[in-house]
Chain A
Amino acid sequence: MDNIQVIKEVTIEQGKVKINGLDFFHDESLEIGPFLKCLYKKLDLKYSKYYKMDYLCKLGFLASEVLLNGENDILTDSDDVAIVLANTSSSLHTDVKYQSSISEIPSPSVFVYTLPNIVIGEISIRNKFYGEHMFFVQSTYNKTELLDYTATLFASGSCKQAIVGWLEVDMEGAYCANLMLCQKNN
């Protein structure tokens, strides 16, 4: 993995947001809904599509906003930015919500979030990224494996920067995010 450099790392869990290990934001509300709402307000964003997202997308979207804030100099070409993410619960939180709506009339706006990789689309649309992307569903967070995969992408020449990491929202709404901004190391 000599060709990969982690420039910045954002972690979100238990009401806390950290950038490179340093406290960035803390909210007392530990439940995912109120917490994400507070973080969205803290970031002073105006993005109407945000409200339509499910929790996994909101978590990934906000984590990416914190991660990419002030990094415009690094992200020179939107074709060169890859997104490599993973989690263990896939989109289960939304899948269950959708399943319960089937008994009446299924909700189209819930249905569109019944895949975990939709969060990659949301981040890509927001930032106009057109690079490679992959979403792994795995039993535990294996950071080394994800960075290895990203190093392979860098070696193949398909991208020069990547957002890599873990985005988890389980069936009960417990959440955790760890996103890294990586750069190809020449």
Chain B
Amino acid sequence: MSELKENLKKQLIEQLNLEDFEISDIADSDALFGDDGLALDSIDALEIIVLLEKEYGIKLDDPKKGKDIMTSVQTLSDFIESKR
């Protein structure tokens, strides 16, 4: 597992209070939203936007892209890498 993806999982667990989850419980491709995977909600989406800005200095300029960026830890990681 890349360091970035491990950090992301750790930050998601802390920021979103996912106390039921360990880092090892979250697969890179697990869906962040919807009934499967982490089953996050709209407030969590806002919290992820805050996380991206706070931890990685990245602002989500185009809200329309948010859905694709926040599909999984993998897509979040790809987005962060593309901005570096």
Which A residues are within 8 Å of any B CB, using their own CB? 48, 51-52, 104-109, 112
Contacts and interface: CB of A to CB of B under 8 A. Distances in A.
B6 interface: no
Contacts of B43: 52, 108-109, 112
Classify the interface of chain B: helix, strand, loop or mixed: helix
Given A48-B39, A112-B43, A105 B50 contact: yes
Interface of B: 15-20, 39, 43-44, 46-47, 50, 53-54
Q: 7 closest pairs, A vs B, by CB?
A: A108-B46, A51-B17, A51-B19, A105-B50, A109-B47, A109-B43, A52-B17
A90 B46 CA distance: 25
B20 A104 contact: no
A50 to B, nearest CB: 9
Contact of A109 (B19, B39, B44): B44
Contacts of A51: 17-20
A145 B16 CA distance: 39
